[in-house]
Amino acid sequence: MNKPLLNSVAAMDAAHQIHPHTNLRKHLETGPNELLVRGEGIQVFDETGKGYIEGAAALWCSSLGFGNARLAEVAKQAITDLGYYHNFRGSGTPQAAQLCSKLADIAPDGMDKILLQSSGTEANDTALKLVWYYWDAMGAPQRRKIISRHEGYHGTGTLTSCLTGKVKFHEGYGLPFSEFHYVTQPYYYRKAEEGESEQEFSTRLANEIEELILREGPETVAAFWAEPVMGSGGAITPPAGYFEKVQAVLDKYGVLFVADEVICGFARTGEMWGSQTYGIKPDLICCAKALSAAVIPISAVIVGERVFEGMMAQSDKRGSFTHGYTYSGHPVACAVAHEVLTIYEEMDLVAHVKSLESAFLGGFKALEDHPLVGNIDGVGLIGALEVVADKKTRAIHDPALAVMPMLDRLTRKHGLITRLIGNRIALAPPQIITEAEVGEMFTRLKAALDEAHAAL
């Protein structure tokens, strides 16, 4: 049976592409919101030529912006030189070796072993396997229980969906599995009790983790998973003292700490790692996104000494380390990622982000008194504001008013793409942004907020 020919890209998209996190029936009817065809600096352009400041760096990841010719040349050379080879059974490529060395140089102290993967989900899934692999090596295979946070996000694979503490990621899939447990989101604005200070809130949350460990049995608990700043949970920074208190509980019971730095890594929080911003001492770090400035898929698990000793013991016992993917350490991806890290060195990425932090957070501060804004939050070049109907009661708008879809339309009307998470508007722009561009981004956001307020 012959299929009808489609004469537009939008029609092809609507007819054939299944889009993640999209209402599939509606998409069949309406097609894509827009088709983005090129990028330059911090802007992307649709098929009509309209430009948008990409205020969320696409999915928190286009750290060097869009349309980077330098990275394209590196990819072209790597494809020309070899194109592909695997890293199984001891085989290697210069590109993978050089990237691992460079990544080890900027990793936190005591973490210089790199396991390359291809996505943030793969990195977290692999880290989960390494946690269980480690405890088996230590003669404690019963330590399988994992603690993560409500609204935390760690991917959408089968196991990483269990790590993710969002109910919608579990519904309809028969998830989560029984090994996974969740504790309170460290969201002071919404979760603190009346009169509770940030330090008191952090103490309560750390006590909750300890109570869970004791209830389940410390001998059965394997690891705690956390993003230094919760990205898809709302761009939420931790309350004062939170990670210090949590780390003390984990250390008390020997529980591994896995830091999901897929969003926070590579200076997003003002230090090279979010773990450094908040004094976290992780056993494993998962990174992706800005590792290649998102121009090509690649990720890594950075392995601490404790876990690597267990991996070597298992390798001795079983003959080899039995894990890997076809595209792990892909030479083209490694070449591009190595060049990205070189660019970060040249621009002194950490210093650049720190130089912009005041202007970025100041942009949120200037909106604090806006009638629609109930809360602001941020660090480095990641932050969010919360949209409320009543500033005093913190009540949100009636869903029937569709305020957040309205704000999405209005920000795009004013040439700004943001990340909407519930009733929060998050910003995490490409890290090449300038102070003038930061100002323009907030000017456009305020225009959208003003227009929405007038409409309401």
**Residue 5: band (very low, low, confident or very high) from pLDDT cuts 50, 70, 90:** low
Cβ neighbours for 75, distance < 8 A, ≥ 6 positions apart: 295, 296, 332, 335, 336
How is residue 186 written in tokens? 């460290």
- pTM comes to 0.95
User: 33-67+349-455 with 72-347: one CATH topology?
Assistant: no
Q: In angstroms, rounded to a whole number, what is the distance separating the alpha carbons of residues 395 and 387?
A: 9
Question: What pLDDT is attached to residue 2?
Answer: 52
Q: Where are the domains of the chain?
A: 33-67+349-455, 72-347
Average pLDDT over every residue of 106-133 = 97
Render pLDDT for 153-179 as a digit per residue (tens, 0 to 9): 999 999 999 999 999 999 999 999 999
How is residue 347 written in tokens? 């621009």
10 Å Cβ neighbour count for 318? 12
Render pLDDT for 73-89 as a digit per residue (tens, 0 to 9): 999 999 999 999 999 99
**Residue 34: band (very low, low, confident or very high) from pLDDT cuts 50, 70, 90:** confident
Cα 146 to the center of its chain, rounded Å: 19
Q: In angstroms, rounded to a whole number, what is the distance separating the alpha carbons of residues 389 and 370?
A: 11
Topology adopted by domain 33-67+349-455:
Aspartate Aminotransferase, domain 1 (3.90.1150)
Domain 72-347, architecture per CATH? 3-Layer(aba) Sandwich (3.40)
Position of tokens 């919360």?
A: 386
Question: What pLDDT is attached to residue 6?
Answer: 65
Average pLDDT over every residue of 195-223 = 98
Render pLDDT for 441-456 as a digit per residue (tens, 0 to 9): 999 999 999 999 999 9
Phi/psi region, residue 17 (left: phi>0; alpha: psi -120 to 50; beta: rest), is: beta
Render pLDDT for 319-366 as a digit per residue (tens, 0 to 9): 999 999 999 999 999 999 999 999 999 999 999 999 999 999 999 999
How is residue 46 written in tokens? 């649709």
Helices (H) then strands (E): counts for the chain: 16, 15
Question: What pLDDT is attached to residue 292?
Answer: 98
- 1: pLDDT strictly greater than 50: no
Cβ neighbours for 154, distance < 8 A, ≥ 6 positions apart: 120, 121, 124, 148, 160, 163, 164, 225, 227, 260, 286
Which of 418, 413, 439 lies closest to 428 in space, CA to CA? 418
Size of the chain, expressed as the number of residues it contains: 456
Render pLDDT for 400-424 as a digit per residue (tens, 0 to 9): 999 999 999 999 999 999 999 999 9
The SS3 call for residue 293 is coil
Q: Which DSSP string do the residues of 224-272 spell out, in sequence order? A: EEE-SSBTTTTSBPPPTTHHHHHHHHHHHHT-EEEEE-TTTTTTTTSSS
Q: Kindly report the three-state secondary structure assignment for every residue of 198-223.
A: HHHHHHHHHHHHHHHHHHHCHHHEEE
**Residue 33: band (very low, low, confident or very high) from pLDDT cuts 50, 70, 90:** confident
